Chains A and B, each alone.
Chain A
């Protein structure tokens, strides 16, 4: 592979800027005839390899990559859809609603499996599990829980140890956290029992998977529920402090999705990028080369389905009711 000198400008978010970006990077080879701006909820380190391989093929394109949380991403994009060409998010429900509301462009030339797309406008490119992540030291002498019920039992039997040492998403702030929570609640009552137990033990709430994993590694918390499996996996490669459990009772898998803004002025380039993204993520190569989990459905594996029903919990009344109930359980 040819080595391009890739200039990466890391711009430290100015406090004066309109949006509070978690991260903002510009990828360029120096010759910029075209540019693309990507609004994403995916951490730069996971997405950069895909952008780089794209720039290897199309060196005269400049890519601006903006990272923010799923909920604020939805807000920012709805406010100014013409500013961004491609939207990438792990909150499938918010993404689907964007398409339903007419914010996405149809890309007819893309051949993608039916279950991994919606209206030929929203394209899934990863399958990622929601995981229970543990600090290994905390579980040194005890059996590692395999299911949610196991976890509930464990938390109850060692309540003093786990007090204030549990973490999960703050579903009020994180779109992905809300998606995981609602899908869990839809599947099983166990979710509410777990929330109640966690609430009773004083649970820390996080905006993002990254922060939760940081605290797990440092030992601030011992258990984190509904962490993005892919992020935890990446961290585990660096430091073997954590254990990742995919609950055996019912796994929750989500798909990261991309769409092209309907108000984009650079449709051609955007479509080329999406095609590259999907090719990269569906290529039958060694898993190690994927920076993000590829889009392969293992036999028996199920994911949250891309269907209009995803909008159910986005309903104002439903959301109010759910959050009220969630708060009642977890904030005691």
Chain B
């Protein structure tokens, strides 16, 4: 009935993957933004110095004795000194005619008097930033325009940028690692209520169909609610079927007893052998049916009581002694000796009726399978732990059935011809489980079945 459930991915992994890839994308975007911003700032820095140098040159222009003099200060070029010794080029034009500097340095056509204009150019096989501006001088006779361009290579700038990029990349990686750790922690925390629910479901006993009542996160509320509804329905339908069985058994038992008494009475009167044989078979079948019915009733009662145990102190020795006394007449019918070995006294705290029922079923089983004139030994002891053992001299359990015998209506392969419903061991086991005890089935080395209850 249980089919293999297919697994498709993991919630935690999916969540972590989403978080981490989100962080990676964010990190990369951040890297480019910061780098771009840094590049702009660095470029602005260079532009500012170029502009200062440019204006110091333009300021030095004078007309002296009718000729243009540009006595620019040492600082004009000194301020362009960089860490990486960037190269510096300049050109000074008087009305479009080069009067000093590098003649092949480009001069933009449209330059303003007020604002310097900046360009990045390729000059002498290297990238250079160039700033240009002009100034108009009014002489005695004429009006002249001095245009100046000053350029600087970008070695120091690119090194600064590389350094910034490296640092930003380093910070980005650190951020990414941190986010990875955080997302692992976050997903683990998020997923833990689900894990707790799963483990509490796993830990439940097979009969426990009560609803979950612990607090759950809102996202899990629908799931747990559905689960609870499902379990309630399951519980209800189980109970209904148990009730149905108990009701059915009860209704069958009374007419069966009537039929049996009629059959017994008839048996006394009939003399013909074939008729007597037929009647005996009838009586045996009726016995079997009524026993099954009463065991079904027992089982239903046990199922019901298991959920609401009525615990009280029990003296196990007295309980067993009583049972043996009660069952002695049945044992005598098969000349079976019932031995009771009391190694120790055991006091239990449990449901008296259930325990009595379970042990009676076990001794009953032993009586059924025990040969004529056999011995059944019931032992009680406390070492190493409290136990009750019932050992007969019957054929023992078929080894390959050992695991299944406690299931409902399961009977061993060697049970042919023996009256039984297949519920005895199931009842014993359910009672043991309800009390936190254990039922062990084994075969004694000298033959015979051996049933042990470990409390």
Contact = CB atoms under 8 A, between A and B. Distances in A.
Contacts of A102: 87, 124-125
Interface residues of A, number: 19
Interface stretch (B72-80, B270-278, B309-317): B72-80
B69 interface: yes
A163 interface: no
Contacts of B68: 317
Nearest to B68: A317
B78 A309 contact: yes
Given A119-B85, A317-B99, A321-B69, A312 B125 contact: no
Contacts of A312: 72-74, 76-78
Contact of B100 (A100, A118, A307, A316): A316
A328 to B, nearest CB: 13
B92 interface: yes
Contact of B77 (A101, A120, A311): A311
A309 B71 contact: no
Looking at A186, A315, A321, the one whose CB has the most chain B CB atoms below 10 A away is A315
B101 interface: yes
Interface string A303-325: 00011110110011110010000
B81 interface: yes
Contacts of A308: 77-78, 80-81, 85-88
Contact of B70 (A118, A307, A317): A317
A306 B86 CA distance: 12
A184 B89 CA distance: 25
A321 B78 contact: no
Contacts of A118: 85
Given A118-B85, A119-B85, A307 B78 contact: yes
A315 B69 CA distance: 11
B71 A321 contact: yes
B112 to A, nearest CB: 23
A317 B69 contact: yes
Interface in A100-116: 100-102
Interface in B91-134: 92, 99-101, 124-125
Given A316-B99, A317-B70, A318-B71, A309 B87 contact: no
Contacts of A99: 87
A186 B92 contact: no
Instruction: State the main secondary structure of chain A at its contact with B.
Output: helix
Contacts of A120: 85
A317 B71 contact: yes
A309 B69 contact: no
Contacts of A317: 68-71, 92, 99-100
A186 B74 contact: yes
A50 B101 CA distance: 37
B137 to A, nearest CB: 14
Contacts of B125: 102
A100 B87 contact: yes
A302 to B, nearest CB: 15
A308 B78 CA distance: 6
A121 to B, nearest CB: 8
Contacts of A100: 87-89
A68 to B, nearest CB: 25
Contacts of A186: 74
Given A100-B88, A102-B125, A315 B100 contact: yes
Contacts of A311: 77, 88
B388 to A, nearest CB: 94
B70 A309 contact: no
A182 B71 CA distance: 13
A312 B73 CA distance: 8
A303 to B, nearest CB: 15
B84 to A, nearest CB: 8
Interface in A267-312: 306-309, 311-312
Residue with the greatest number of chain B CB neighbours at <10 A, chosen from A99, A118, A308, A315: A308
Nearest to A118: B85
Contacts of B77: 307-309, 311-312
B231 to A, nearest CB: 78
A306 B82 CA distance: 11
B93 to A, nearest CB: 12
Nearest to B78: A309
A119 B87 contact: yes
Interface in A170-223: 186
Nearest to A183: B74
Contacts of B80: 308-309
Interface in A61-94: none
A118 B177 CA distance: 42
Interface in B179-226: none
Given A186-B74, A321-B69, A309 B81 contact: yes
Nearest to B73: A312
Given A102-B124, A186-B74, A321-B71, A315 B101 contact: yes
Contacts of A321: 69, 71
Contacts of B71: 317-318, 321
Contacts of B75: 309
Contacts of B88: 100, 308, 311
B365 to A, nearest CB: 98
B71 to A, nearest CB: 6
Interface string B251-285: 00000000000000000000000000000000000
Nearest to A306: B85
Contacts of A316: 99-101
A307 B99 contact: no
A309 B92 contact: no
Given A100-B88, A102-B124, A318 B78 contact: no
Contacts of B87: 99-100, 102, 119, 308
A221 B73 CA distance: 35
A102 B75 CA distance: 23
A307 B74 CA distance: 11
Nearest to A186: B74
A116 to B, nearest CB: 12
B85 A318 contact: no
B74 A315 contact: no
Contacts of A101: 124
Contacts of B73: 312
A229 to B, nearest CB: 24
Given A100-B88, A102-B124, A102-B125, A315 B72 contact: yes
B72 A307 contact: no
Across the A-B interface, give the 4 residue pairs with the lowest CB-CB distance, nearest first. A309-B78, A308-B88, A307-B81, A119-B85
20 contacts: A99-B87, A100-B87, A100-B88, A120-B85, A306-B85, A307-B77, A307-B81, A308-B78, A308-B85, A309-B74, A309-B75, A309-B76, A311-B77, A312-B72, A315-B100, A316-B101, A317-B92, A318-B71, A318-B72, A321-B71
Interface of B: 68-78, 80-81, 84-89, 92, 99-101, 124-125
Given A102-B124, A315-B70, A321-B69, 7 more contacts: A307-B77, A308-B87, A309-B75, A309-B77, A315-B100, A316-B99, A318-B72
